[in-house]
Amino acid sequence: MSCGLELQGRRIVLGLSGGIACYKSAELVRLLTKAGASVQVVMTEAAQQFITPVTMQALSGHPVYTDQWDAREPNNMAHINLTRGADAIVIAPASADCIARLAHGRADDLLSLTCLARPWGAAEGRCPLLVAPAMNREMWAHPATQRNVAQVIADGAIVLGPDRGDQACGEVGDGRMLEPADLFEEIVAAFQPKALAGKRVLVTAGPTFEAIDPVRGITNLSSGKMGFAIARAAREAGAEVTLVAGPVALPTPRGVTRVDVRSARQMLEAVLPRAPQHDVFVATAAVADWRPATLSEHKIKKEGKKLAPTFELVENPDILATVAALPDRPYCVGFAAESENLLAHARAKLERKKVPLVVGNLGPATFGRDDNALLIVDAQGHRPLPADGSTADKLTLARELVREIAARIAPHSA
């Protein structure tokens, strides 16, 4: 899920060290530039054995730097000029040798020299370093590499990955570079304010499915997109996030722990023991209010029947109200998906379930869509999100809502 030009105006230095994963870096450049970033590529001599500077120049739209003695710079100091004004340095792929150079502060090629020369101390003008390891599984597991990784993290770098899977050498294990889409998501997350750092957030998303027989059931049109966006935004804000998802076919946001459920009772069973261990509970899921009282063992057949079958309904547990009534409850945020009288219904839900915040939206107008318009309702009043009453993509709204929640729980955290 993307919200368009997420990196508009950002200047990123992308470093490539030697490794077959360089082929993924071409797609990463495309994703970064498509999101509005200006990408300046720096390649080591080894990287040029796997992909050409011509390719990276064509994709980035900028000349590629490969030599610390590059005379194109008026002062012949590419390692200085590249990082001044840059928003981040991303090394993808970062080989074992590259990580060792970073750990030991070596500066004998342009990429390591550039990393050493970047502004890293004061917050103002600081240029973060993001490192995406890529190497054979044995190289990754070697104690020397693990020591070097621990050192670069201690020095302030952010290590992205690695992934586990098939490797170019034919072996299988840890050491694969993250896929370009995953790296892109991590880079975007690195730029988000960490308003929920140290917090734990529990989110429910999607519909529930209440079985009538082995093949039929009661459900609704919720796509889960808003809840998944909130989970991603909370993780971007520094929180440890658990996502309890109904039956939806959406990819799990990076870094989020996912628990799949089907029915309302299963969702309650997943949420209730976890809720006291979290600081925030966001009940985005569209939970079915009713379920059949009994489940038919076999598919209900229509052959020879003149009348449609009937069945009794019983009320499902109220997950939000149950969590809100816990003695050690988290900060609870409810969602109200309505078809009419949004404010009245949202305020009634706020009071009935005794929660501090309810977020309303017109469900039929937004189910399945990538955009939405929200109404924030609390005891003091209400206001639209976005503020101008228009619509926005769900990830943008999720980030705004996460900032809203963070501001509300801050006094309780002090």
16 has binding-site annotation: no
Q: Residue 255's closest CA among 211, 190, 193, 311?
A: 190
Cβ–Cβ contacts within 10 Å for residue 81, how many? 18
102 has binding-site annotation: no
Cβ–Cβ < 8 Å for 243, 258 = yes
353 has binding-site annotation: yes
Instruction: Give the span between the Cα atoms of 211 and 203, in whole angstroms.
Output: 23
Instruction: Give the span between the Cα atoms of 48 and 39, in whole angstroms.
Output: 18
225 has binding-site annotation: no
Q: Residue 330's closest CA among 408, 233, 229, 231?
A: 408
319 has binding-site annotation: yes
**Sign for the pseudo-dihedral over CA of 343, 345, 347, 350:** negative
Residue type, 306: K
317 has binding-site annotation: yes
Which residues contact residue 410 at a Cβ distance below 8 angstroms, ignoring those fewer than 6 apart?
none
- CA distances from residue 22 to 33, 56, 140 in whole angstroms, order as listed: 17, 10, 17
Query: Catalytic: which of 22, 127, 169, 332?
Result: 169
Q: Which helix (H) or strand (E) holds 77?
A: none
* Surface-to-core class of residue 123, CB atoms within 10 Å of its CB (0-12 exposed, 13-18 middle, 19+ buried): exposed
162 has binding-site annotation: no
Cβ–Cβ < 8 Å for 276, 326 = yes
Q: Is 127 a catalytic residue?
A: no
Distance in angstroms between the alpha carbons of the first and the last residue of the chain:
33
Cβ–Cβ < 8 Å for 244, 231 = no
Q: List residues forming the annotated binding site.
A: 289, 299, 317-320, 335, 349, 353
Catalogue the active-site residues: 169
Q: List residues forming the annotated binding site for CTP.
A: 289, 299, 317-320, 335, 349, 353
